[in-house]
Structures are given as C-alpha cells and as structure tokens.
Amino acid sequence: MEEMKPQQESTTVIQEQHLSASSDSVASTMPANGAANQELPAPDPSAGVIQPRPAPPMDWKRFGAPMAVLMLLTVGLVLAIQFMPRPKPLQEGKTLDKVPATLGEWSLLEEYPMSEAALKELLPDEYVARIYVNPSGEQADLSIIAGSHTGAFHNPQVCFRVQNWEFAENESITLNVPEREPIPARFVRLISLDGQRREAVGIYFYATPMGYRDDTSSARIFLLLARLAGMDQQRAYFIRFLKPATGNPERDRESVKQFAEQVLAAMRQTNPEVVR
C-alpha cells in the first residue's frame, strides 16, 4: 500500500495543473470590462427556415386525349338516345291490364285515354291511365307508360311546365314496399298557372331493366344499355301518382306517398316486371 502514495501525489499534481489550465482558458475567453453580462444578439429566425419551392404549373395537355375521347363518347350516346330509330310498339308481353282494380283502400273509379298527340309522340308499348277513389271520397291518378325505346319517355320536369304547372317543391323521396328494395322516386308539389290556383302533389319514378331511377336521363341510358347488351328484359316503365292538394302540405305529402306504396304493394303480386 505504501508504494501507491507517490502515484496518488502525481495524479493530484496533474489534476491541479489541468484545472489551472482550464481556468486560464476560460478566463481568456471571457470578454473584458464586464461584457459577459451583456446579452448576445438573438439569432435570425428566418436564417434556418427552408422556403418551399413553388409547385410546377399543371400540364393540362396530358388530359387532352382522354377528355376528347370522353366527349366523343358522350356525344355519341346522346345522339344514339335522341335519333335511334324507334321500333314499333311491342304488342306481345303486355301486362299492364293486370294492374288490380282495388289497390289497398283505393278502388277504380274510371279509366281515361291518352291524347292522340301524346300517343303519336311517345309510341308506348302500352299504358294505363286511371282514377282511383278511397272511402273518404279522395281521388288519385295513376299513370303507367311502358316503352321498349327511349323516346317513349318524356321528362316530367318539362312536361309539367308545358302544361302550365309550376314547381313549388321538387325533391327526392323513397318509397317502401314490403319484401322489395326501397324505390328512389321524385316528389313534386305543383301550382297551376291557368289562373284558377289549383294545386296538386305527385310522385314519379322509372323502373328500368337495370334498376329504379328518379330522373329521365339515366332511365333512358339504362334502357339503351339493356338493349345493347341484349338483356331479356328490354322494357322500361314510367310510373306516376298524382293527387289534388288540400292545403295541408304535410298531410298531402303523406297521403300521396301512402297511395303510391299501396299501389306498388298490390302490383308486386300482379306485375313483378314493374315492381321487382
């Protein structure tokens, strides 16, 4: 143990020399005249911020060819819908005469013919136009047009206006039929412009070979695609329910909806080609 003493002393000397040198170096770096108490200038915050590069301009030229092809296809489809030769109305497969005379609480009151001008314009395969009445004496109109070509269907949004009706409401609605998928339809509230201030509420939709639609354009496209694809079912149906308004908007809306759902519930048994 005695032999280790000189080594400890030399270590102490080295540490003292190191501390002394460190103190001298620190002292040499200290600014004179109390400058150590002065605040250092704050760093510039923008010096270390990397500015993002501006995004390169969109190269619209690369979309030119796809857009041109899409426009050509759209124009071709529109022309096909508008100018495809209309076939003669199909005589076989008529089924609308099976629509029941009793539809829920509604009973058949009368049938009325389509106008000669409308028949020549639409060339429907078949149609029904009926007035039904319920035990309370309320009347409701049921119209169904069947067609195997796109020209058999006019846009009700246009037809109502041509017949001097103005839209007070025009919105989507869903009809519920037991054991069937919900049917998207269109609800409208109409005000007559003939000066008599008549009002009516209505619901309409299309049953196509490829599903239900509530607008004319897509219904025509679906019927055209069904024809081009050679589907077994190549006939579409326009179904419209119309009822005089009573002045109670909520009651009128619910009443015409109940009439439509009772009609469709009965037709799912007699006319599955319409209510799928």
Instruction: Report the CATH number that the domain containing residue 128 is assigned in CATH.
Output: 3.40.1000
Count of domains forming the chain: 1
**Is 52 contained in some domain?**
no
DSSP assignments along 81-118, one per residue: HHHSPPPPPP-TT--GGGS-SEETTEEEEEE-PPPHHH
pLDDT (tens digit per residue) in 55-90: 666 665 666 667 777 777 666 655 554 444 444 444
pLDDT (tens digit per residue) in 206-264: 999 999 999 999 999 999 888 788 777 789 999 999 999 999 999 999 999 999 999 99
**Is 158 contained in some domain?**
yes
Which residues have a Cβ under 8 Å from the Cβ of 48 and sit 6 or more positions away?
none
**Is 81 contained in some domain?**
no
pLDDT (tens digit per residue) in 121-150: 999 999 999 999 999 999 999 999 999 988
Smallest Cα–Cα separation from 152: which of 89, 100, 205? 89
Q: Which residue type is seen at 160?
A: F
Smallest Cα–Cα separation from 91: which of 156, 54, 52, 146? 146
Length of the chain counted residue by residue: 276
**Is 25 contained in some domain?**
no
> Domain containing 162: what range?
102-270
**Is 113 contained in some domain?**
yes
**Is 153 contained in some domain?**
yes
**Is 175 contained in some domain?**
yes
**Is 219 contained in some domain?**
yes
